Amino acid sequence: MTLSDIADSREKYGIKNLGEGMSTQGEELQRLRRSSPFNEDKDIVGFEEITKSLVAELLKEDRNRCVVSIVGMGGAGKTTLAKKVYNHADVRARFNCRAWVCVSSSYDHKEMLRSIIKQLDQISKEPLEVLEQMEEQDLEQRLYQDLQDKCYLVVLDDIWKEEAWDCLARAFPDVNTSSRLLLTSRNRDVAQHADALNKPHELKTLGQEDSWQLFLRKALGHGDNAGCPPDLEEVGIQIARRCGGLPLAITVIGGLLLAKKKLKSEWEKVLNSFNTNLSKSQSGVSAILELSYADLPANLKFCFLYLGLFPEDHVISVRKLIHMWVAEGIMQKRDAVNLEETAAYDDVERLCSRNIVRVAEMTVDERIKSCRVHDLVRELAIRKAKDEIFFQIHDTRDDEISAKSRYLAVHSLPWVKNYFGSSTPPLRSLLFFNIRIYEENISLRFKSFRKLRILDLENVEMYSNLPKEIGEVRLLRYLGLRGKLSIMHRFKIAHPVGLRITSSTRLPHSFGRLRNLQTLDIRTHATVIVPNFIWKLESLRHLYAYDMECDVPLKIEGLRNLQTLSGIRFDDIMHNNMLTLTSLQKLGIWVDDRSEIDKLCMHLSEVGSLTTLHLYSTRGRGRPTLAGLSKLHHVTELKLSGLWLMLPPDFPPNLSRLALKHTHLTDDPMPVLEKLGRLSFLKMKDAYDGRQLIISRHGFHQLKFLELSRLNHLDEIKAEKGALPQLLCMRIRNCGRLRKLPEELKHISTLDTLELVDMPKDSISRLAADTAFSVPNLRIFYS
């Protein structure tokens, strides 16, 4: 059966149409990052000597700018090795500014320059929109000037062409500061072209012993020095040898075996698959990837192939991916409580555990936030998709859109209005990636897209109205308009968060005909004017907005499938009978000094499905008082964003997760928060302007995860004996003045992980020295 058959025959597989996920605002810098040093593979073997050599070369006493290169075949571990070197303690201490960018075969020069600028100058207050408007020559000059007095290290990962190096090289000054460029490439000629005086470091395949140790870690899930069950050892050695010493091949085959029972017969089946099906035509990593793909269940094959639509080295939001998979109708309800999005997240975890998909970023409580695929794995997905005419990727101006395409990803756009030619393909998904159209519009004949389920226009720049004909796409389930100010017609209005002037966008009335729409993402950087049609979208499950405005009170009553609603205003909530929203789980509301929070909480108190409440405070003269939250017995997660004078006088009684963002509290919040008896997760970002946080004896007796981010004035954290007795993970991100962690951390037996992210090198050295010997996992990252 083909994957197209799977998509069309959902009833045959018992697949229903139900549920969906969650929402938070992501930062623009995350969009710019592709491959990232943030998640370094913990299972690294065989790189000890070459790591020492690379570090020594980066640190050698030579004031000239030097290029250090790692070359090797695909799957040999070049990126993994580069991450290990990039995060090496001596390297961090040497270079006062660092950046990482993935070049890939289809690079965007301006995007790479923007990404490097933002990473090298993270304290800059310059809006990203300013960089977006700069021309290529201006970006090069800006970067060149920024680096004049810096001892910098920039990693150029996965560079394919000499032309790509030539474009970037002129932006990196050679000014006697001992700066370094570290590049990885499959092409030795590229490395020698970049610096003919330095011999590239060739990454060889792993030796037999290193291959075996990596295989055991991935296939059995064990740590160092863990042996193999005797009955599995002989067949395991044969499988490991078939991987040819390539870390990617070993990792993927290990993930395949990890998902199977630890039986000799199961491992022999895998070995026999090599010997019978693949040995005649393929070898090495290609054979491993083919075998791993063949072993996937039918629904996971569809999910895997769908990943091939995303650009090379693209960081993929897991939440977005889940929405798309659910909209495709391929997810199956697992039980009465967990809906399709739970099944979709499980499938993301299954693909990651098989090492087919890589984790790009995780939350502090170890949920997968974003992922990506190795370029060899993506090539497999594209190859398999072409075999079945499953999807098409449009990435050159000369490509023609096939009349048979059902899933189309547009990575570049021709400057013609008649985009699809004389015929319109029977598309189910149409995805655009960072397409910039300055005066022309995309010629989309919406009336012809009778089968379209997914339309994603994230970050597409269009300077004319979104066509009214979009209402004719009656089967549409996912519509993504997130990103640019220019997504629709613009005009100036006063923004509700203050006196500054910003743009506004308006949705056409025809949206009201999209009765099958499940997810509508209108998180633009402008207020979105929404005609009063939302109540007509009877299938709607997730409505994401930063800020919505309606000429009349926005009606949302009767949306029994709605699970997520963000960016709505206080007055609109109060005008609706919220009891009719029987599936509502997550709600984000704009409030101001006129908002009566006590009445709001009473209004929401009987909405039994509501578990997450996010209140955004505007920048008016006064502040709303947060009385009444104790009425919300069903709420277990509370998020407070914006400027507040003080913490609420009370909290939801069953609160387990709390996030404070941009609150700029002046009084230490810990004496209040530590008494929340059920609190297990606390995140504070730009939340407190004081110099000390003090946690008293037995404070936070249930807290397991603590993240402190951008507390720019924080010097010290103190904790009395007996505080934080259940803490598992503590993440400190971008707290540049922090000098001291609590001594009590050394005595918390449950504490497994301390993460230091984007911290100054002197702070890292001091904090790491204080805690390294007492915390099992000390992780230091730069994003």
CATH topology of domain 3-26+297-382: Arc Repressor Mutant, subunit A (1.10.10)
pLDDT at 33: 29
Among residues 287, 208, 286, 242, the alpha carbon closest in space to that of 45 is found at 208
Distance CA 238, CA 212 (A): 10
Mean pLDDT, residues 711-733:
93
Mean pLDDT of the chain: 80
Whether the pLDDT of residue 503 is over 80: the answer is no
pLDDT at 695: 95
pLDDT at 21: 29
Tokens of 581: 């929203």
Mean pLDDT, residues 66-95:
85
Sheet of 548-549, strands arranged across: 491-494, 501-506, 527-529, 548-549
The DSSP symbol for 423 reads S
The predicted-structure confidence for 417-432, as pLDDT tens digits, reads as follows 445 555 567 888 989 8
Domains of the chain: which residue ranges? 3-26+297-382, 47-202, 208-294, 671-783
pLDDT at 297: 86
Coil/strand/helix, residue 491: strand
Diameter of the chain measured on Cα atoms: 75
CA dihedral 577, 580, 582, 584 (to 10 degrees): -40
Q: How confident is the model at residue 31 (pLDDT cuts 50, 70, 90)?
A: very low
Coil/strand/helix, residue 66: strand
Q: How confident is the model at residue 72 (pLDDT cuts 50, 70, 90)?
A: confident
The DSSP symbol for 351 reads H
Whether the pLDDT of residue 656 is over 50: the answer is yes
Range with lowest mean pLDDT among 328-332, 361-365, 495-499, 678-682: 495-499
Strands 316-317 and 368-372: antiparallel
Among residues 755, 736, 754, the alpha carbon closest in space to that of 745 is found at 754
Mean pLDDT, residues 603-631:
86
pLDDT at 4: 41
C-alpha 12, offset from chain centre: 33
Range with lowest mean pLDDT among 123-132, 244-253, 443-452, 613-622: 123-132
Whether the pLDDT of residue 485 is over 90: the answer is no
From residue 259, give the alpha-carbon distance in Å to each of 152, 286, 303, 528.
Answer: 43, 20, 17, 46
Three-point CA angle 491, 551, 638, nearest 5°: 95
Among residues 651, 650, 623, the alpha carbon closest in space to that of 637 is found at 651
pLDDT at 212: 85
- Total residues belonging to the chain: 783
The β-bridge partners of 685 are: 661, 709
Count of CB atoms within 10 A of residue 367's CB?
12
Q: Does residue 618 contact residue 496 with C-beta atoms inside 8 Å?
A: yes
From residue 565, give the alpha-carbon distance in Å to each of 23, 47, 587.
Answer: 9, 48, 5
Q: How confident is the model at residue 26 (pLDDT cuts 50, 70, 90)?
A: very low
Whether the pLDDT of residue 510 is over 80: the answer is yes
Among residues 150, 520, 518, 47, the alpha carbon closest in space to that of 327 is found at 518
Q: Does residue 720 contact residue 696 with C-beta atoms inside 8 Å?
A: yes
Helices (H), 452-589: 570-574
Mean pLDDT, residues 175-195:
87
The DSSP symbol for 276 reads I
Among residues 544, 530, 539, 542, the alpha carbon closest in space to that of 558 is found at 539
pLDDT at 167: 84
Q: How confident is the model at residue 129 (pLDDT cuts 50, 70, 90)?
A: low
Three-point CA angle 186, 315, 706, nearest 5°: 125
Question: How many CA atoms lie within 13 Å of 324's alpha carbon, on the beta-carbon side?
Answer: 24
The predicted-structure confidence for 294-344, as pLDDT tens digits, reads as follows 888 888 888 999 998 998 888 899 999 999 999 988 776 554 444 788 888
The β-bridge partners of 528 are: 505, 548
Distance CA 191, CA 82 (A): 14
pLDDT at 545: 92
Mean pLDDT, residues 571-598:
93
DSSP sequence for 671-718: HHHTT-TT--EEEEES-B-SSEEEE-TT-STT--EEEEE--TT--EEE
C-alpha 50, offset from chain centre: 31
Distance CA 211, CA 245 (A): 6
Mean pLDDT, residues 599-610:
94
pLDDT at 564: 96
Q: How confident is the model at residue 77 (pLDDT cuts 50, 70, 90)?
A: confident
Q: How confident is the model at residue 627 (pLDDT cuts 50, 70, 90)?
A: confident
Whether the pLDDT of residue 260 is over 90: the answer is no
CATH topology of domain 47-202: Rossmann fold (3.40.50)
Tokens of 235: 């067949």
Q: Phi first, then psi: give them for residue 418, nearest 5 degrees.
A: -85, 75
Non-local CB neighbours of 598 within 8 Å, separated by 6+ positions: 625, 627, 628
Whether the pLDDT of residue 49 is over 80: the answer is yes
Percentage of residues of the chain with pLDDT beyond 70: 79
Whether the pLDDT of residue 8 is over 50: the answer is no
Question: How many CA atoms lie within 13 Å of 28's alpha carbon, on the beta-carbon side?
Answer: 19
pLDDT at 706: 96
Tokens of 290: 């083919």
Mean pLDDT, residues 247-275:
83
Whether the pLDDT of residue 143 is over 80: the answer is yes
Whether the pLDDT of residue 773 is over 60: the answer is no
Q: Does residue 152 contact residue 178 with C-beta atoms inside 8 Å?
A: no
Mean pLDDT, residues 144-164:
87
Whether the pLDDT of residue 652 is over 90: the answer is yes
Q: Does residue 321 contact residue 348 with C-beta atoms inside 8 Å?
A: yes
Q: Does residue 574 contact residue 552 with C-beta atoms inside 8 Å?
A: no
The packing angle between helices 298-307 and 340-353, to 10°, is 80
pLDDT at 337: 45
Q: Does residue 549 contact residue 529 with C-beta atoms inside 8 Å?
A: yes
